[in-house]
Amino acid sequence: LINYATSSWFVAVTKIKDKMLELAKNINWSPANMKEGRFGKWLEGARDWSISRQRFWASVMPIWICQECGEKKVFGSVAELEKLSGQKIDDLHKHVVDKITFACEKCQGEMKRVPDVLDTWFDSGSMPYAQKHYPFENQKRFEENFPADFIAEGVDQTRAWFYYQHVIASGIKDSNAFKNVIVNGIVLAEDGKKMSKKLQNYPDPMEMFEKYGADSVRYYLMSSPVVAAQNVNFIENEVGEITRGMMRMLWNSYSFFVLYAEIDEFEADKNFDPKKLNGLLDKWIVSELHMLIKEFNMHMENYELHRASRLLPKFVDNLSNWYIRRSRKRFWKSENDGDKNEAYQTLYYVLVELSKVMAPFTPFIAEEIYKNLTGKESVHLADFPVADESLIDEKVNTGMRVIRDIVNQGLSLRAEKMLKVRQPLNEMLISSVNNSLNIGDELKNIILEELNIKNVAIVNFEEFKNILVNDLVEENKRVKYALLKDDERNFPQISERDAIIALNVEITPELKLEGQAREIIRYIQEMRKNAGYEVDNRIKVWYDGASNVFDAQSLRDIIAKEVLADSVLSRNEIAEIDLEKDFILDGEEIRLSIRKSQ
């Protein structure tokens, strides 16, 4: 390598720097700090641009100089050069153009092209014009699309492609070249090093697609800090978590709908109006859907891809683990009443609209859901959803969020006390420090069902403290009400959150029997699955043991209803069976037999 000084052609950037700085104010950056930060600081320090290079392969500089008087001629088109030189030009490579000479208009001396070629960033910066062959054609189309709505590239381009586009546009069009910019960081290997073929420190992309699905890989990157100009370490396990988490929940939700919709031959109502829904759960999931659409659009309009994409897992969880789980029995029941139809129609509506929202980030699963449910050509040809503000009910959303928090506290408390959810409990107390709880009957019923509790009492905080203090202060007293361990440690100084709960953990003989009935239901459901029954197959059940449970007609009726049994009979009345199994129920052996009804 030899370092030496050489002559160069320059663009006088400093003469238009003030204009460049002013025009840069019109550009929206994502992330926003790039505007005044990395890009802004680079503009402030802009120097004249050395535009020429001494090499072979590049765009030639269109400058000819007279070898006698030094007159310069700059050409703006091939047509100009052809007219003056009298030669037909169809190749602009250096070795061809260098041979083109013509007489100087001033002294008739020979005009020859300067030997230099253009900096490659001049080509890159000229992209907006070159792609439409402007100004030689497509002038109207160019003017209608300039400046570009948005461009996207890596953070290193703040001093390269972004910058040179801005320089050229400022110089020749008195305009910024683009309106919006998404700046991405660099995807690094899991160990934080640059991905390298030599080090082989990265997984094969095709293997990632085969193993986890292209949607999971795409979503992983689009929801990561890399789309906000930060570097990210590519961690395969995190891609797997997306597949096992959000993607599986979404697919299971879709499969659940398809399964029961086919059984009941459901057909979507083209005139469905979500504003006419009656059920609280239906209103809630539609409200959450339109809140999702509203927030999603807001972030997308601001080019905040990672913030938009991160809204999706929470909604899919709401749909799968709350709406569908809470609504399952509505789909299971045999009668096709209005409530069942509303459940179908709501879930259909939500899945179709959700597929449109998710399409930019998970295009393949969105396409599968949309095409199969609607029969239309493609989700990517559908209009993007727009939120209907009248369907967003903040009161319903807040109420459901509080209820889910209460249920989560209750589940945690049951786990701490080693009480299975199948074991019914008598009562839960709910309170809040500021006594602001307003829980209606529908929401109370959700708590009762989710936590398997007979009664919910909402009490003011002073009464709550008095009840709990009386239970907790006497060391030898059997504690009837239980708090979460953290709450018990801090009681009665409890932080101001939406709700605090206490459970009556006393198990009466009646509650114990009902808990055993729930265990038996679980055993039979497991047997149905092992026997390969369809979800709507009705069965017959025989039992031997646990007579104290089966002798109670109310419990026997509950078992029959839950497992779709036409009869529940003692084993001494047994006939031909499909499957028989032994179980241990609270230390007692029990034998169960099942057969599909004819």
**For residue 48, what pLDDT is reported?**
94
**For residue 536, what pLDDT is reported?**
81
* Pairing of β 178-184 and β 28-30: parallel
Percent of the chain exceeding pLDDT 90 equals: 65
d(CA 559, CA 550): 9
H/E/C letters for each residue in 145-201? CCCEEEEEEEHHHHHCHHHHHHHHHHHHHCCCCEEEEEEECCEECCCCCCCCCCCCC
Tokens, residue 557: 């009726």
DSSP track, 17-41: HHHHHHHGGG-EEESTHHHHTHHHH
Q: Is the pLDDT reported for residue 501 higher than 80? A: yes
**For residue 535, what pLDDT is reported?**
82
Are residues 556 and 568 in contact, defined by beta-carbon separation less than 8 angstroms? yes
Are residues 544 and 590 in contact, defined by beta-carbon separation less than 8 angstroms? yes
d(CA 564, CA 558): 10
Percent of the chain exceeding pLDDT 70 equals: 95
Average pLDDT over residues 336-341: 81
Residue 308 φ then ψ, to 5° = -65, -50
Residue 457 φ then ψ, to 5° = -120, 125
Distance of CA 593 to the CA centre of its chain: 45
* Pairing of β 500-504 and β 539-544: unpaired
**CA 173 vs CA 111, 129, 159, 181: distances in Å:** 30, 11, 20, 19
pLDDT band at 477 (very low <50, low <70, confident <90, very high): very low
Cα Rg for the chain, rounded, in angstroms?
36
DSSP track, 242-271: HIIIIIHHHHHHHHHHHHHHHHTT----TT
SS3 of the chain: helix, strand, coil, percent, to 5: 50, 15, 35
**For residue 350, what pLDDT is reported?**
97
CB atoms inside a 10 Å sphere around CB 528: 21
Residue recorded with tokens 């605090």: 500
Q: What is the pTM of this model?
A: 0.81
d(CA 71, CA 84): 15
Are residues 196 and 190 in contact, defined by beta-carbon separation less than 8 angstroms? no
pLDDT band at 478 (very low <50, low <70, confident <90, very high): very low
Type of residue found at 95? H
**10-184 CATH choice from 3.40.50.300, 1.10.10.10, 3.40.50.2300, 3.40.50.620:** 3.40.50.620
Tokens, residue 291: 């809140």
d(CA 257, CA 345): 10
d(CA 365, CA 93): 47
Sheet holding 425-431, edge to edge: 453-458, 425-431, 500-504, 481-482
Cβ-proximal residues to 450 (8 Å cutoff; 6+ apart), any chain = 326, 407, 410, 411
pLDDT band at 371 (very low <50, low <70, confident <90, very high): very high
For 57-81, the pLDDT digits (tens) are: 999 999 999 999 999 999 999 999 9
Are residues 264 and 336 in contact, defined by beta-carbon separation less than 8 angstroms? yes
d(CA 469, CA 477): 12
504: β partners:
481
Q: Is the pLDDT reported for residue 462 higher than 90? A: no
187: β partners:
232
- Helix, strand or coil for residue 106? coil
Q: Is the pLDDT reported for residue 169 higher than 60? A: yes
pLDDT band at 473 (very low <50, low <70, confident <90, very high): very low
For 417-432, the pLDDT digits (tens) are: 899 999 999 998 888 8
**For residue 476, what pLDDT is reported?**
43
CA count, 13 A, side-chain hemisphere, 486: 7
**b/e map 28-63, b = 16+ CB within 10 Å:** ebbbeebbeebbbeebeebeebebbbeeeebbbbbe
Burial class of residue 275 (count of CB atoms within 10 Å of its CB; 0-12, 13-18, 19+): exposed
The domain segmentation of the chain, as residue ranges, is: 10-184, 236-392, 395-507, 510-596
Average pLDDT over residues 425-451: 86
**For residue 475, what pLDDT is reported?**
47
For 101-160, the pLDDT digits (tens) are: 999 989 999 999 999 999 999 999 999 999 999 999 999 999 999 999 989 998 889 889
Tokens, residue 65: 């100089």
Average pLDDT, the chain: 89
Tokens, residue 207: 């293997």
Q: Which helix (H) or strand (E) holds 202?
A: none
For 193-224, the pLDDT digits (tens) are: 888 888 888 888 898 899 999 999 999 999 99
pLDDT band at 225 (very low <50, low <70, confident <90, very high): confident
**For residue 347, what pLDDT is reported?**
96
What CATH number has the domain spanning 236-392?
A: 1.10.730.10
Smallest Cα–Cα separation from 218: which of 253, 254, 189, 247? 247
Q: Is the pLDDT reported for residue 98 higher than 80? A: yes
Average pLDDT over residues 385-399: 93
- Helix, strand or coil for residue 412? helix
pLDDT band at 14 (very low <50, low <70, confident <90, very high): very high
